Chains A and B, each alone.
Chain A
Amino acid sequence: MKPAVKRLIFFTALILFWGLGSHFEFWHETILPSPFSVWDALVAGFADLTLVYDLVASFRRLFIGLAVSLLIGTALGILLARSKTADETIGSMVLALQSVPSIIWLPLAMMWFGLGEGAIIFVVILGGTFVMTLNVRTGIKNVNPLYIKAARTMGSNGIDLFWKVIIPASIPYLVTGARLAWAFAWRALMAGELLSAGPGLGYTLRYASDFGNMALVIGVMIIIGVVGAVVDQLIFQRIEKNVLKRWGLES
């Protein structure tokens, strides 16, 4: 059986179980609303465009934050890979920063940038930057020395060697870094939105919860999960697989 078919059957069964449980009132509607209420809440949300505005607002922050974090992450990663002093000083700080959830920066960010966009984007940037930095650094350091030797015997050195051989050779690590940066940034964004002003998916989630609209809460949770899974599997894992294959790292 194809994985897609298995998946379809699994999710159908899950929703069926959920629906039947609600129908026979194994649990109360306020604890876990039925799939029909969730569906209605989603339809209503899209019909009056609130969820559309939320999605647009969330994605805008995500794209800005992720783009900046990929840029800074790559630059910082190159610096750490090339300079031993930077690696021994900034490198250890990056490791420490990477080990904490970036949402802990939100209170400080709100002091600096106010309650709006700036603070959330700042947290998203911090969420993605360090994992990208560490992957770029590892990628550059792990370039097969044979490629470098071969390139040098063919008259390449210095900047040419770096851009034409070392960077392309580390692309598998850059792609993995970008995928992880996206995952961290997406989590940071949701956390940030839960704690600040709207619009945005996270904001609507908290707003619905405050008003006891559990159907909308679950609806938004499903949107967040689906977006995360779709971007990861349809975009990043696909690119990663192609790159690994091309780079001869996977048969």
Chain B
Amino acid sequence: MFIEIQHINKIYTDKDNNANTVLDDINLEIPKGQFVSILGPSGCGKSTLLSMIAGLTSASSGGIIVDGKSVQKPGKDRGMVFQEAALFPWMTVTENVVFPLRKEMNKKQAIERARHFLQMVQLSNYAGHYPHELSGGMQQRVSIARSLAMDPAVLLMDEPFGALDEQTRSRLHGQLEKIWIDTQKTIVFVTHSIQESIKLSDRIVVMGTRPGTVIADIDVDIPRPRDEHKQQVAALEERIMGLLKGEIDKVINEELAYEARS
């Protein structure tokens, strides 16, 4: 399998030495070219899992293999898009996109390549601007272009549209879907929005919380574009809502119990 996540556990110990199991025996296999969403309530460990695939966080036990190689540290084969656009404010849009390329090609080639990917996210006109001159949605598109430009085997996205308004988000969904179809990248997409996951992905991994486990693994076989199949989308939405309801109740009950104790 292209990405293999094997028996991943993650335990954080706080300053009082209390162990907090964030991820409990996660196993996942993701084939090449799949668009998979990881869906779950806040705090279930989605970001933790994604940053492990990126190589930014280490697992307490278990291992992750991407394209036959065990993940030990970050690498250009795995591009990451964060919830906030992590653009460098002292560089122009082009310089930001060139950043991951500068070591492997000459300047002219790198700029040419940056232009190509900025065109893909429809921002060629802003090549010379600085990030603070761009809206949040535009910044996020630049981040996507920057990740794509280094031609990673996998694109990891951690709630990339979470901070955007509804209209912008919906437009970017369309663009991302098109980019995915054009580039045939494997995309692991973290979200807590059920609609978003159904709209975009081939497969939805639903996670439960405390500790984080996989509670359902759903193949989405609704034809694209999904907007045209409202009934099927609604049915799946209902089903996932039912799955998550138990999880959300669990979080609320824990909060109540905590408040009762203190």
Contacts and interface: CB of A to CB of B under 8 A. Distances in A.
B62 to A, nearest CB: 21
Interface stretch (B13-21, B74-82, B180-188, B244-252): B74-82
A150 B78 CA distance: 11
A153 interface: yes
Contacts of A245: 132
B45 interface: no
B131 A248 contact: yes
Interface string A151-174: 111111100000011001101000
A147 interface: yes
A164 B103 CA distance: 12
Contacts of A154: 76, 79, 99-100, 146, 150
B202 interface: no
A244 B39 CA distance: 38
A146 interface: yes
Interface residues of B, number: 25
Q: What's the dominant secondary structure at chain B's contact region?
A: loop
Given A146-B82, A245-B132, A153 B90 contact: no
B88 interface: yes
B132 A246 contact: yes
Contacts of B2: none
A165 B84 CA distance: 17
B200 interface: no
19 contacts: A146-B86, A147-B86, A149-B51, A149-B56, A149-B86, A150-B82, A152-B73, A152-B74, A153-B79, A153-B80, A154-B150, A155-B100, A157-B74, A164-B99, A245-B132, A247-B89, A247-B90, A247-B132, A248-B132
Interface of A: 146-147, 149-157, 164-165, 168-169, 171, 245-248
